[in-house]
């Protein structure tokens, strides 16, 4: 059984993008009120007194868009300073990195994943739901700033959507040739925008690998991280190519993570809400930390039985009710 030591922490459920694969088309989302978000103190207390004692040592900060949280740099610094922390990383859309990359690095963040679903500004803006001035260039400058500051590994996440950005796979893969960038191709999943998924479907990781292999060839690769990607490398490239294949090559048996939402719900699976714990309500009600810790320990013991496959079979399965941005990815 995998050791579950990796906690993905959503700092905020809001986002300054409205990516088509993440949010339902045309629907207005109900966001968590400010007073219902875990405060910095509450979050750090839960990490120190609950999650670290039960074995969590690796943390990833997500959103929504985590850089929208005003105290994000302070949170990074606090987690990075904990002696038990073995790794701290962040997933971001990159729009605010030009302004915040240096401060995040100085606070102790070393690994960062940035969403970049297209190299064409018009396609990029279509995907993120932008109808005003193009945001592609600012995101690109944020990526370059993060690279300049020293983030390593720097990973670029690409959700491949048929008929939207799948024609750019080779161009995106080529970003790994001259820089130590790690491009991760993610199969489109039916969460967030179900209508788009039904309309477009998804492209398997193997089909993408075959396309890249026929153009350059592929060898096995490696990159530091905690995720489920299968990693390859174009011969002679400085960076790598990763493939996350939940649709075609289910990796539930390799999962080593849990997710803490911005409003304090602990979930053992991205796509299954069975067994979730409301830690914020318990903490604010004065439940002893030892009791909360015991509840988390018990959920950890059940995690192998709570996964995407169980949800599909109906055994210990509850369909998710939040969008990707609300869950924390």
CATH number at residue 52: 3.20.20.70
- Asked if residue 155 belongs to a known ligand binding site, the reply is yes
The answer to whether 60 is annotated as binding is yes
18 assigned ligand-binding residue: no
User: β-pairing, 265-267 with 257-260?
Assistant: antiparallel
| Helical H segments across 160-286, by residue range | 169-173, 175-178, 194-200, 205-215, 279-284
Q: Which helix (H) or strand (E) holds 305?
A: none
| Interatomic CA distance for residues 236 and 174, integer angstroms | 12
Q: Is 90 annotated as a binding residue?
A: no
- The answer to the question of residue 102 being in a domain is yes
State how far the Cα of 7 lies from the Cα of 128, in Å rounded to an integer.
Answer: 26
pLDDT at 10: 97
Question: Which pLDDT belongs to residue 311?
Answer: 47
Nearest Cα to Cα of residue 230 among 241, 215, 219, 218 = 241
Flag whether 1 is in a domain: no
255 is in an annotated binding site: yes
Does residue 283 lie within any of the structural domains?
A: yes
250 annotated binding-site participant: no
Query: What's the number of domains the chain is made of?
Result: 1
Element (H, E) at 185: strand 181-187
Give the residue numbers spanning the domain of 248.
6-327
C-alpha to C-alpha distances, 25 to 83, 164, 197, nearest whole angstrom: 43, 16, 11
pLDDT tens string, the chain, 329 residues long: the values are 578 999 999 999 999 998 877 776 655 667 888 999 999 999 999 999 999 999 999 999 999 999 999 999 999 999 999 999 999 999 999 999 999 999 999 999 999 999 999 999 999 999 998 888 899 999 999 999 999 999 998 999 999 999 999 999 999 999 999 999 999 999 887 665 555 555 566 789 999 999 999 999 999 988 877 777 899 999 999 999 999 987 777 767 778 899 999 999 999 887 676 679 999 999 999 999 999 999 999 999 988 776 555 544 455 545 555 555 555 55
267 marked ligand binding residue: no
Rounded distance between C-alpha atoms, residue 1 and residue 55, angstroms? 14
> Any idea what the Cα angle at residue 113 is, between residues 109 and 117, rounded to 5°?
155
Is residue 22 a known part of a binding site? yes
Strands 277-278 and 181-187: unpaired
Q: Are 126 and 98 in contact (CB under 8 A)?
A: no
Q: What's the CA dihedral at 195, 321, 14, 244 to 10 degrees?
A: -70
15 is in an annotated binding site: yes
């Amino acid at each position: 059984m995998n050791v579950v030591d990796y906690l993905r922490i959503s700092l905020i459920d809001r986002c300054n993008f409205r990516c088509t694969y993440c949010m339902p088309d045309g629907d207005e989302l109900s966001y968590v009120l400010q007073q219902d978000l875990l405060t910095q103190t509450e979050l750090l207390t839960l990490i120190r007194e609950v999650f670290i004692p039960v074995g969590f040592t690796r943390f990833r900060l997500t959103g929504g868009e985590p850089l929208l949280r005003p105290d994000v740099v302070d949170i990074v610094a606090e987690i990075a300073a904990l002696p038990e922390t073995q790794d701290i990383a962040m997933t971001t859309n990159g729009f605010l990195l030009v302004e915040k990359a240096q401060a995040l690095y100085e606070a102790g963040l070393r690994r960062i994943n940035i969403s970049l679903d297209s190299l064409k500004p018009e396609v990029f803006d279509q995907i993120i739901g932008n109808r005003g001035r193009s945001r592609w260039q600012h995101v690109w400058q944020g990526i370059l700033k993060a690279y300049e500051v020293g983030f390593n590994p720097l990973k670029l996440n690409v959700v491949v959507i048929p008929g939207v950005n799948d024609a750019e796979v080779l161009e995106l893969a080529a970003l790994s040739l001259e820089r130590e960038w790690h491009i991760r191709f993610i199969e489109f999943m039916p969460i967030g925008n179900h209508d788009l998924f039904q309309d477009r479907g998804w492209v398997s990781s193997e089909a993408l690998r075959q396309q890249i292999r026929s153009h350059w060839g592929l060898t096995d690769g490696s990159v530091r991280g905690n995720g489920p990607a299968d990693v390859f490398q174009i011969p002679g490239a400085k960076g790598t190519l990763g493939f996350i294949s939940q649709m075609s090559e289910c990796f539930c048996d390799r999962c080593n993570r849990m997710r803490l939402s911005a409003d304090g719900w602990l979930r053992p699976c991205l796509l299954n809400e069975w067994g979730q714990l409301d830690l914020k309500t318990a903490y604010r009600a004065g439940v002893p930390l030892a009791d909360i810790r015991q509840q988390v320990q018990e959920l950890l013991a059940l995690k192998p039985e709570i996964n995407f496959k169980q949800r599909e079979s109906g055994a210990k399965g509850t369909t998710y009710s939040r969008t990707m941005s609300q869950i924390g990815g």
